[in-house]
Structure 1
Amino acid sequence: MQIKKVVGLVLLSATLSFGSMASIFTGENVTKSEYKNGERGIIVKQDIDADGIIDSKDDCLETIPCKEEGCKEPEPKPVVIGDDDKDGVLNNIDECPNTPKGFEVDEVGCSKLVNLEVLFDRNKYNIKENFTQKLDIFVDFMKKHIEYKAEIQGHTDSRATEKYNEVLSENRASTIKTYLIESGIEEERLTSIGYGELSPIDTNKTKEGRANNRRVIAVLKK
């Protein structure tokens, strides 16, 4: 009788030990339907590495770095395309990436019109000294971009007769053209024309507006 009790206790202990060991391999008690992949032992709704991705969809179950990100693809960062020469045309389509400030450009970033920022006194067509620096920037551009030709256009305010203003504007354009040639730009790349009072950019009713209209611009052509 004593022997039977001992054997019974041994068998009971072995059964309990086996159950504990089995739980190590099988994990929590779940039904067969809760497993997605029997070989991997993946429980459908379990998240063993606590990365926010349930195991049935997690390809990094055993990877420690996945604790935070799992195997989620990082969200793509937005691509920021700049406009280095500040001409209003983005770098990825700008065919003339070093346009000087103030040059008007076409849809691919190449210069088409330049305000030379040279203004004249009334009835005058000589270049005042404080405007030569602006012209020298244009000279430098023309020397670097020999593919361009330029039409120099002169303008006036509306005072005096239309005929007088036409001649005055032609003289202004011609003066600028001469300065460019003397600065090293080939004469065959330059033409000049006067538009008189016909194309104002400001009002002719104020002193400041009339001063802005007495100007010269350059239209660039390839």
Structure 2
Amino acid sequence: MMPPEPSPIAVLPLHLPAWATRCLVERGGTDRAVPAGPAQTGAALAVLDAAVTAAVPYAGAWADRLALTAAAAAVARSGRPEDEAALRDLVAVTPGAPAGPAGPVLGASLWLAAGPPGPRWSDLPSLIAGLGARSGGLPDELAQALAAAADRPCPLAAAAAALQAVLAVRPGRDALAVWAADLVLARWLGWPHGLPLVGLGLPQGRCRFLLKIFFARFGRQNKCPGQAESIGLQS
């Protein structure tokens, strides 16, 4: 059996600058995590941007693997039993879109990993409907709201606006809100495919708390990280 392909970050000479990690340790100590500030967040996005845009041959497999992990986390947060292995089986045995109750979450995650979201924006209403926002013209309205969110002046404000847009009309749809934030983030950054940065950054059991912090800090104002305090996501 061939070993799994490494991620671009593991192969390319990419790393966070020493100051980005040193100041976190100095502020919180080695035994206590502290919120990442604007400088650390920007440094992390720069490293990720270099990895995503490097166009390494296995970038698609890397993105799909992260999408599968994020989908499994979202499914677990919703209380369903499907794990990564079960979701992988859905892809293997379903000729089209993944079927079953967990299918829409997995399908949306894989869609985000498959390419740049901007040129495929017309797919959003059906994906949004599958993630639980079906009534009336809500899928189209949310697609328009997410496009507006992507026009915010910085990526974190854009992601927070996406969270706010979803939670304002569907407070219980965490999977949709998190996916929307990652979608808007990928569009704002101009990435060739999305990554589940928000989806993988939400610990089990703290989704609602972190979502509230995220859009409370950035969602109601057009603030860039340099104009705001550190965000509530952990480095």
Tell me the TM-score normalised to structure 2 length: 0.23
Structure (1 or 2) with the greater strand fraction: 1
Structure with greater Cα Rg: 1
Could you say which structure has the greater relative contact order, defined with CA pairs below 8 angstroms and 6 or more residues apart? 2
Q: TM-score, normalised by structure 1?
A: 0.24
